[in-house]
């Protein structure tokens, strides 16, 4: 990685203090004190978490050779340490990381998917459709980060902001046309996606979940975090059948289109047929797409994933694809080929029944 001057790292960031040399050269950013990257050209960002506080480890990082720090709480370090004080170090990390990697989300078509259920499946259905259309796609989420020959498992639905921008840069450099990512409520709560404007945002569904001491304090907090997706997107898509539909869209800063199985919507999955054979469980349905001229487009769709829930994931993926100009021939092909590791996979057991 090339060196970047501190003033470039700080583009768009307003520090609370100005007593540091903006010509200082920075090679990389670190947010975990266990990281082996050390040296005076490393910027360490102190993050406050649910269980530990990076500010408490600043001195140990200093002892390893790091001399530049970003903090939101007072640090007691020797005089040769440079400390940049900011209001929120998580927002700082997001913006600084974007700058370090050349703001890669501005160079690639970005799709963010949130929701209580269905994020991973919807992401992989969208991926399969875009690939059927000839696009090169990178993806990051629960299963891991995949693009080109790169695979990394970080154990988070939405990676830390540094890792988002690092791998988005990797996707751009690998020639990817599209980046798809799971945007979890925790990702919004902890500002991991701060500063990113998605070209498309998808909200699959919403129900009470992820509420507790190390997650969201209550359901309102959970909802409000997820709703941030439609304040960080150019266009949104959401489930009109969900009981919280009106609440989901009430603060949206972008136009929002709808998909459904039951209620009238811009894209609707109807007439489902569930079947099976010796090697597959199948779902077939008709997608009804509303057009500006009110001439509905009806298309038969086939999936190799069973279940009523698959209708919602698939019609959400269709809505995204069609609004990106992808023809139904690629939509049909992509959905028929879509494979989501660990989601409704057939297990060969050589018995007279299917698992």
Give the model confidence (pLDDT) of 25-80 as tens digits: 999 999 999 988 888 999 999 999 878 899 999 999 999 999 999 999 999 999 99
Q: Is the pLDDT of residue 211 over 70?
A: no
Buried b (16+ CB within 10 A) or exposed e, 41-58: bbbbbbbbeeeeebbebb
Q: Residue 217's pLDDT is what?
A: 76
CATH number of 104-337: 3.40.1190.10
- 333-343 tens-digit pLDDT: 999 999 876 55
- Sequence spans of domains, the chain: 4-100, 104-337
Dist CA 236 CA 201 (whole Å) = 5
CATH fold for the domain made of 4-100: 3.40.1390
Q: Are 315 and 269 in contact (CB under 8 A)?
A: yes
- Does 4-100 match 104-337 in CATH topology? no
Tell me how long the chain is.
Answer: 355
Cα–Cα distance for residue pair 57/38, rounded to 1 Å:
14
Tens digits of per-residue pLDDT, 89-116? 999 999 999 999 999 999 999 999 999 9
- Residue 246: count other Cβ atoms within 10 Å of its Cβ: 9
d(CA 318, CA 322): 6
Q: pTM (2 decimals)?
A: 0.92
What rounded mean pLDDT belongs to the chain? Answer: 92
């Amino acid at each position: 990685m090339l060196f970047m001057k501190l003033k470039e790292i700080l583009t768009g960031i307003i520090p609370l203090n100005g007593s540091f040399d903006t010509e200082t050269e920075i090679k990389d950013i670190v947010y975990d004190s266990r990281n082996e990257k050390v040296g005076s050209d490393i910027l360490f960002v102190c993050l406050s978490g649910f269980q530990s506080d990076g500010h408490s480890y600043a001195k140990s990082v200093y002892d390893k050779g790091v001399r530049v720090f970003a903090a939101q709480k007072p640090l007691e370090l020797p005089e040769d340490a440079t400390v940049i004080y900011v209001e929120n170090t998580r927002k700082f990390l997001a913006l600084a990381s974007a700058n370090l990697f050349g703001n890669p989300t501005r160079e690639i078509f970005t799709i963010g998917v949130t929701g209580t259920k269905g994020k991973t499946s919807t992401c992989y259905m969208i991926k399969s459709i875009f690939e059927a259309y000839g696009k090169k796609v990178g993806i990051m989420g629960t299963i891991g980060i995949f693009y080109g020959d790169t695979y990394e498992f970080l154990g988070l639905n939405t990676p830390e902001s540094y890792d988002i921008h690092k791998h988005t840069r990797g996707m751009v450099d690998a020639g990817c046309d599209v980046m798809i990512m799971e945007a979890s409520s925790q990702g919004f709560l902890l500002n991991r996606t701060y500063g990113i404007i998605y070209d498309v945002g998808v909200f699959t569904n919403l129900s009470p979940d992820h509420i507790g001491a190390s997650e969201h304090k209550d359901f309102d907090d959970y909802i409000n975090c997820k709703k941030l997706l439609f304040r960080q997107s150019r266009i949104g898509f959401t489930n009109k059948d969900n009981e919280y539909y009106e609440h989901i869209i009430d603060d949206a800063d972008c136009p929002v289109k709808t998909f459904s199985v039951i209620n009238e919507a811009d894209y609707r999955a109807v007439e489902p047929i569930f079947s099976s054979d010796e090697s597959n469980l199948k779902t077939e349905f008709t997608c009804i797409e509303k057009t500006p001229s009110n001439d509905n487009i009806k298309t038969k769709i086939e999936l190799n994933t069973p279940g009523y829930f698959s209708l919602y994931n698939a019609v959400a993926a269709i809505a995204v694809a069609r609004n990106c100009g992808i023809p139904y021939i690629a939509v049909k092909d992509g959905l028929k080929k879509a494979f989501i590791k660990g989601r409704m996979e057939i297990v060969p057991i050589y018995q007279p029944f299917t698992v």
